[in-house]
Structure 1
């Protein structure tokens, strides 16, 4: 097996190609949150549609990431990684030219398939090629740069969104994909697990996609249809049965997508539980922060993107040092302190109500954002390193695939659950606020119908009185803030649970091989 020095020419090319390619995934993931208001307006999408733009990508990414890691282990990590780059680039082109919200959602699914081959492939290439003594530093570099790109994405997205150019968030991936594919093909050696001759578990992937999609659909539909709708309840039950059947199939297959015996080890299980709670909180919290900035607080999309700059500086400047330090001290202290600090940041921001716009950022949201940045700095690299070292090296792809799939599934459930909760709370707050108004029933009905658009709700045209229009607009804002505050408190609690999970389950010393 190859043992390539981190600072060698080949080692640098490995980092360059993997970081550049996966940066596309992280750019789209973070930049899209900021431009959702522009996208929603241009494509005439509802609030539920917006969540599907996010979740269609995450569903395919989460379900196919596991077989994606297995494909790389068996057929060649470089080859599968390259196919992922091509698929993601094609999906990006289709997203950029989308004429409708449905076309965009389908195109995002193609992006998700490409990302499912790229993300586990990048880390498994690093783990299988870079020599063991420098692996933590290499993963730290990967984490630092991809995090900078990820948090730099909202700034790019904000500028493009304010100028009506949100489609270029997708177009920019095409030259990035071409350059990374050339570097990969010419400079990076192939690596695979030659002992693995099993078939890829596509039935398991299908069951996982079907189950997650059905549950996500039902969660987003409940606030609109109500909890007594038999069709939506039937879809929810169908989704749950698919996930149960998925576990049954995985247990009986000779070549499962997930080797369930891995979860008998408390260290591996603890790391993935921590990932689920932390990244669910991060995804949900940042999504509603972005919506709050633009739709309620009055930030421009550029200003909204700039609010995430603390991440760029904190993680970009110090992630490599945290990687080196965690190699020496062990990952457990970082995995306890990091999520806890992140939770404090979300808790701080949950108390913020209506401000006077971006001019109040430094005394309102900034302290909480700094806490979240420090918390994630302490967590990202140690978590990635701990996961990649938690099982044997010849299963690097599946190790990375499971953990990345868990983080994406956390995002799916966070978007679905928080989206449903936000729609529910927002609608009921608006209805309660209308009880004492002098508007007629027809006007109230039209005002309530706008709640499907969340913070993008517009005062209906049949309300002509200027004072009433102002009151309704304020009601929308108050109702959204109530939903936002509840969600950020839940995000904080999820981070605290992640910290407790690390304390109870993660081993102090590095595990050489669990499988």
Structure 2
């Protein structure tokens, strides 16, 4: 195994890194914290739950809609400026959501919040990548990954605690101090980035992906909820995405630069990141349902039961970053995949009411494996590109993670739903599928190693 001496990271860079984490944490937390408040929102605003569901669905679709613009915006205005504007817009939209007079206004404000939130993570990744360079990228990206991985897991707990003593507007008001602190520090310390002469936006390409990507994500997400795959919606979405890719390959100023995929290592690493996104998000569905359906816990207790999982992920993430900078991405991901298999196979043989200590030990092991598996592949993709092309790489990898995560969540949800109400069989199948997915992660890590 080849090792390199990790280049030191100065205090100013770490300060920028933790400021960027503010935005990533707010965006990640908001994706899950509001979901458990839908019943309360529906009752308070006098709306049908099927309509109120768009408070959550509209946010997720808006996240996908804004991602393709990130690369162009970062090149045109500078990644730091885009990050600051997005955080400001996200914070203002959060406040508007809290004072929405009816469900239609809430859905509209939530959509605006999602547009801003979708840009925060890839713009922040671009800021960090351009600040530190490839040799130090693993450690700072892994730190950002703590927020990306842990915030969604904390959402149910945070939402449950808020609704236990406060009303639903506080689900949005919690973003205001986070956003204000991030803006105050960001205006002082985050570099604005360089501007480039990019030309105009390819509006035809934007229309293709803006229509196609939400259609695909919506169809895949509803498949997980209903068990039915709506091909009349999915097929046009896939056609539009293929059309978008073909247009970008011919266009002189494409919205997304797909020439990056000519690099064998970038191609292998970004596709591996998509696969791991499906595994991680899908397994998150299994673990959450395991506590809610299998062990009959409410949202607060489920969130408390997931703290060991989230804590292990957060604790191992910095170690992951240092290991990637020193040993490379593939060996770290291989170790994580092995740990994922070891920590999930026992669930396939345990009853649903297994002793809590055993469950928590295994979940902590799996939480550690999540950090080791999910982060290195994205870091490996970013390490292959020049700083000036990081905006496109960050947008593309984030889109792949979003699509992979939605697909993984749907597949795992369908696997479990098809075997209910037999809880033991359903969750044994779910955890067996996670183990199979971890073996797949071994294969993707080996593909990256061969491409290195």
Normalising by structure 2, what TM-score?
0.84
The C-alpha deviation readout for 1:346-390, integer Å capped at 9, x for no partner, is: 44445555438xxx4323x32331232121232344334312212
Instruction: Tell me if structure 2 keeps the 8 A contact 1:30–1:153.
Output: yes
Post-superposition Cα deviations, 1:20-62, rounded to whole Å, max 9, x if no partner, equal 122101222354566677678877636x975x65543333323
- 1:209 and 1:295 map into 2 onto residues whose CA distance is 36
Distance 1:350 1:198 in 2: 55
Q: Decide whether aligned partners of structure 1 residues 251 and 121 sit closer, same or farther in structure 2, where only a CA change above 3 A counts.
A: same
**Matched positions, count:** 443
Which 10-residue stretch deviates more, 124-133 or 168-177? 124-133
- TM-score normalised according to structure 1 size: 0.75
Q: Structure 1: where are the runs of 5+ without partners?
A: 430-477, 510-515
Shift of 1:251: 1.8
- Which of 441, 448, 452 does residue 505 from structure 1 map onto? 448
Question: How far apart in 1 are the matches of 2:149 and 2:224?
Answer: 34
CA shift for structure 1 position 405: 1.6
> Do the aligned partners of 1:34 and 1:291 also contact (CA within 8 Å) in 2?
no
Contact kept, 8 Å, 1:121 with 1:397, in 2: the verdict is: yes
SS of equivalent to 1:371 = helix
1:331 paired residue number: 329
| Alignment of structure 1 residues 314-325 onto 2, 5 Å | 314-325=312-323
Match of 2:300 in 1: 302
- Report the counterpart of residue 256 of structure 1 in structure 2: 254
Q: How far is 1:480 from its partner?
A: 6.5
2:70 corresponds to 1:76: no
Query: How far off is 1:148 after superposition?
Result: 4.8
- 1:127-138 mapped onto 2 (5 Å cutoff): 127-130=129-132, 133-138=135-140
> What whole-Å deviation, never above 9, does each CA across 1:318-371 have from its counterpart, x for those lacking one?
422332222121111112222343355444445555438xxx4323x3233123
Distance 2:42 2:395 in 1: 32
Which residues of structure 2 form unaligned runs of 5+? 1-6
Task: Tell me if 1:293 matches 2:294.
Answer: no
Distance of aligned partners of 1:493 and 1:202 in 2 relative to their CA distance in 1, 3 Å threshold: farther
In structure 2, what is the Cα distance between the partners aligned to 1:225 and 1:300? Answer: 24
Distance of aligned partners of 1:409 and 1:338 in 2 relative to their CA distance in 1, 3 Å threshold: same
> CA offset at residue 300 of structure 1?
2.8
When residues 373 and 28 of structure 1 are mapped into structure 2, their CA distance, relative to the original with a 3 A threshold, is: same
Q: Is the 8 A contact 1:157 1:305 kept in 2?
A: no
- 1:24–1:176 Cα contact (<8 Å) kept: yes
Residue 142 of structure 1 pairs with residue 144 of structure 2 = yes
1:376 aligned residue: 370
Instruction: Confirm or deny that 1:89 pairs with 2:91.
Output: yes
Is the CA contact 1:95–1:170 (under 8 Å) kept in the aligned structure 2? yes
Partner of 1:361: 356
How far apart, CA to CA, are the structure 2 residues paired with 1:332 and 1:503? 7
The structure with more radius of gyration: 1
Matched, 1:168 2:111: no
Q: 1:385 aligns with which of 357, 360, 379?
A: 379
The alignment yields a C-alpha RMSD, in angstroms, of 3.5
Which region of structure 1 is more displaced relative to structure 2, 410-419 or 77-86? 410-419
Higher mean C-alpha displacement, 215-224 vs 389-398: 215-224
Could you tell me how far apart the structure 1 residues matched to 2:416 and 2:276 are?
Answer: 20
Spell out, residue by residue over 1:96-120, the C-alpha distance to the aligned partner (whole angstroms, 9 max, x if none).
4567766655444322211222111
CA 1:414–1:191: 2 relative to 1, 3 Å: same
Distance in 2, Cα, partners of 1:190 & 1:236: 39
- Does the 8 Å CA contact 2:138/2:379 hold for their aligned counterparts? yes
From 85, 92, 110, the equivalent of 2:112 is 110
Q: C-alpha distance in 1, partners of 2:416/2:99? A: 30
Where 2:49 maps in the other structure, the secondary structure is coil
Report if aligned partners of 1:17, 1:183 keep a CA contact under 8 Å in 2. Answer: yes
Find the counterpart in structure 2 of residue 155 from structure 1.
157
CA spacing shift, 1:165–1:486, aligned 2, 3 Å: farther
8 Å CA contact 1:95, 1:167 repeated in 2: yes
Match of 1:178 in 2: 180
Query: Is 2:150 the partner of 1:207?
Result: no
Q: In the alignment, is the contact (CA less than 8 A) between 2:224 and 2:409 conserved in 1?
A: no
Name the CA distance, whole Å, in 2 between partners of 1:377 and 1:205.
Answer: 33
Q: Evaluate the alpha carbon distance shift between residue 272 and residue 102 of structure 1 in structure 2; reply closer, same or farther with a 3 A threshold.
A: farther
The 10-residue stretch of structure 1 (62-71 or 79-88) with the greater mean CA deviation from structure 2: 62-71
Query: Aligned partners of 1:292, 1:38: CA distance in 2, in Å?
Result: 24
Instruction: Indicate how the Cα distance of structure 1 residues 281 and 109 shifts in structure 2: closer, same or farther if over 3 A, else same.
Output: farther
Mean Cα displacement is larger for which, 185-194 or 276-285? Answer: 185-194
Contact residue 214 and residue 236 of structure 1 kept, 8 A: yes
